[in-house]
Structure 1
Amino acid sequence: MNVLASPAQLRASFLRWALFMVPLILLIGFAAGQLGGPDTPWFAGLEKPAIYPPPVLFGIVWSILFMLIGLALALVASAWGAHGRGIALIAFAIHFLVTQSWTAVFFGMQDMISALMVLGFGIASLLVAMALVCRVRRAAALLLLPYLAWLCFAGVLNYQFIVSNPDGGAQGANGAETRVEL
């Protein structure tokens, strides 16, 4: 027997998924942020590009983006029976988990070039995921547009850090190295 869900049931399904997805995305983002951060001697010693925004902005922007991502995923997850729902969620999950490694690569490993490659993968895989998400729920793909814009900005910013610091900055976890130039 095929029975269509009522609008109230559809809203309830979306709300349940949103109450799961938004905290999950925030938790993954928070956990990734714990793998490294800008409060290291290495990062403090880097030349900051002109487009580097105030540090407080990063927490605000990421919190908003994580909420939008969670809502977008809730829209897709609540689309029971939609063709391509599962593959869209899997593609986004792979994208998101790999992209969240950027913090560990950039700040933890202090490898700006590999971090730029992570962002390149992130942008490309997000475009694929957004195309799959759009087939399920167009509104969900639209909710991901600010995230795509921010990843593109992050890529440009990461590249500018490489250009501004061609030597990669003072390497080392404790920043105790001394460089002597003759």
Structure 2
Amino acid sequence: MQGGRMTTGTQEQSTFEPRPMAALALAGWLLLCLAVSGVSSIFPVHSLPTWYAGLIKPSLTPLNAVFGPTWTVLFVLMGISAWMVWKTRPSVCRVRGLRLFLIQLAFAFLWNWTFFGRHQMLTALADIVILLVTITMTIWTFRKMSVTAAWLLVPYLAWVGFVTYLNLGFWRLNP
């Protein structure tokens, strides 16, 4: 910290003095992200043994057991990232960033519902492409306030990119 400003080699926005409710806010962001993850997981749980098991799988499809832990870690990182931005000085950029974050969270939920709940692979593919764009926009906006918060979303972006490849493969292999 230097003169009330966080420094990480690039310009980061000033943060407030520690907020008394910061720990509660962190818990709130984590709870929100994990709730979306938990509710979203209902769709694959019901589809895995039936519909999903019968699909031709694209190469590089991981074992089913990989998805749950991976998504959980990513949603925790997302919650921490949003919390870090929430702690920054109020600004139009912060509002925009957190709105984008909530929008991408909604698209993440919708992808699970569309792919696993509705079995609509093409619609899910359109959703996940929009999700990739909104994650990228969120990272771009978050980096203006906290480079660390932006970097915490990069593994999520990479994983969603990989899941996009899988979604495309499922759609092409299972007409």
Cα separation, partners in 2 of 1:9 and 1:16, compared to 1, 3 Å: farther
State the Cα distance separating 1:82 from its structure 2 match: 4.5
Alignment of 1:23-102 (within 5 A): 23-37=31-45, 38-102=47-111
Aligned-pair distance for 1:163? Answer: 2.1
Shift of 1:8: 10
Q: Which structure 1 segments of 5+ residues have no match?
A: 168-182
SS of alignment partner, residue 156 of structure 2: helix
Given residue 126 of structure 1, which amino acid in structure 2 is its aligned partner? Answer: I
- Alignment check: 8 A CA contact 2:84 2:149 kept: yes
Q: How many residues align?
A: 162
Measured on the aligned residues, the alpha-carbon RMSD in Å equals: 2.2
Report the identity percentage: 27
Deviation at 1:28, TM superposition (A): 1.2
Of 101, 116, 120, 2:129 maps to: 120
* Partner-residue secondary structure (3-state), 1:98: helix
Q: Indicate the residue corresponding to 1:18 in structure 2.
A: 26
What TM-score do the two structures reach when normalised by structure 1? 0.81
SS at match of 1:136: coil
Higher gyration radius (CA): 1
TM-score of the aligned structures, taking structure 2 as reference length: 0.84
Query: Which one is further off, 79-88 or 152-161?
Result: 79-88
Contact 2:34 2:76 survives alignment (8 Å): yes
Structure 2 equivalent of residue 131 of structure 1: 140
Q: 1:41 is paired with a residue of what secondary structure?
A: coil
Work out the CA distance in 2 between the residues paired with 1:118 and 1:68. 22
Question: Which runs of 5 or more residues in structure 2 are unaligned?
Answer: 5-14
Tell me the CA shift for residue 59 of structure 1: 0.5
